[in-house]
Amino acid sequence: MKKLKAIVFDVDGTIADTEKNGHRVAFNLAFEELKLDWYWSVAEYGILLSTTGGRERLLRYIKESHPNFKPTKKSLNDFIIKTHKIKTKFYLQLLKMGNIKLRPGIARLIKEARDKNIILAIATTTTYANVELLLKTNLGSDSINLFAVIGAGDIVQNKKPAPDIYQYVLDKLKLNSDDCIAIEDSYQGLCSATNADIRTIITDNSYTQKQDFSKSILHCNHLGENENPCTIHNNGNNLKKIIDIDLMQSLL
């Protein structure tokens, strides 16, 4: 039987529900600071999430909702970079407040993987600083070191659903794709991982629960805890209600 050697986590929406009450709120605060009358509702942000990457998402919004918008002193690209930096400032403040918690089963699975000498890695479009503070706030000051590789932000040219970030992680780990399982929350993330030939578990959320996850090896609402079992949406007839290492091993 093939042995599970590594778990590769997405971050936003997977490790924590960062989108609705994190990134969305931070973007709205950035718009307010820049004296723009723009506001992303929960529903509108859900539509924008089909575009991966904060800067890319903002560019799409401007093209679709404000096609005649022209920054007063900067190019559109410079404006987007500036706005995203302001948004990141507010997002980090939200993280420091401790209001963005890990999803069920994340801390448990990380501990179990470490106890069983399984490598942990991250493949995400968010910035390294965002990842580091999210982990530090929830798992302790040295928690970034639990992960052997952090593939984050603009470290690769093409963002999800392209496989680049997962291929980067595989190259850094010096592992084959069939040594690993990815954990994602969205169709774009699933495509990114499976296009790198990595088997993928989906833990959906309110934004992604109706997306097509037919290519996943398992689709559930979260990883599960003893007191908060998960609901498995596919391949679940005889499976436990907690996603643990033994179960993941059986999916290889």
Q: Catalytic pick from 10, 17, 164, 185?
A: 10
Q: What is the torsional sign of CA 166, 211, 206, 222?
A: negative
- Per-position DSSP letters for 166-232, written without gaps between them: HHHHHHHHT--GGGEEEEESSHHHHHHHHHTT-EEEEE--TTTTTS--TTSSEEESS--BTTB---B
Tokens for 124, please give them: 């995400």
Tokens for 11, please give them: 């971050």
- In whole angstroms, give the CA distance from residue 105 to residue 2: 24
* Whether residue 17 lies in the annotated active site: no
Q: What is the torsional sign of CA 120, 223, 202, 252?
A: positive
* Whether residue 142 lies in the annotated active site: no
Give how far Cα 33 sits from Cα of 36, 40, 96, 166, 223, Å.
8, 14, 20, 35, 38
Q: What is the torsional sign of CA 91, 94, 96, 100?
A: negative
Q: Catalytic pick from 12, 17, 185, 204?
A: 12
Q: Supply the residues annotated as catalytic.
A: 10, 12
